[in-house]
Amino acid sequence: GAGVSQSPSNKVTEKGKDVELRCDPISGHTALYWYRQRLGQGLEFLIYFQGNSAPDKSGLPSDRFSAERTGESVSTLTIQRTQQEDSAVYLCASSWGQTSYEQYFGPGTRLTVT
């Protein structure tokens, strides 16, 4: 079956511009996560959605970052007024739900801010 998909795969933007990253989770997965992977570092948790519950935004690094999810489907991560330190690979993962420990990852979006 189809895995987690993300688009675009690569995005180059100028400092100060806004960007939107998209994630399509595996069908039926109610939980969705966004992580950030900066060069030479591990993945950092950004935000978590579970069904129609309020998202856990505790990992968002600043108010320039926001994310939305429509029901149990597509999610978009928006970064406003991008800065060079936002350059990273943004990974999305989904799982069956809160009690499922296995997260399935998409291929990521490589964001470069020039």
Partner 1 sequence: AQSVTQLGSHVSVSEGALVLLRCNYSSSVPPYLFWYVQYPNQGLQLLLKYTTGATLVKGINGFEAEFKKSETSFHLTKPSAHMSDAAEYFCAVSYGGATNKLIFGTGTLLAVQP
Q: Is 111 in the site for partner 1 (CB under 8 A)?
A: no
Interface pick for partner 1 out of 19, 31, 60, 113 (rule CB under 8 A): 31
Annotate each residue in 35-74 with x if it binds partner 1 (CB under 8 A) or - if it does not, as one string. x----xxxxxx--x-------x-xx---------------
Structure tokens at 33: 């996560």
Q: Hey, is 13 helix, strand or coil?
A: strand
Q: Please answer whether residues 44 and 33 qualify as being in contact, where contact means their C-beta atoms are separated by less than 8 angstroms.
A: no
Q: What is the CA radius of gyration of the chain?
A: 13
Residue ranges in contact with partner 1 by CB under 8 A: 3-4, 31, 33, 35, 40-45, 48, 56, 58-59, 91, 93, 95, 98-108
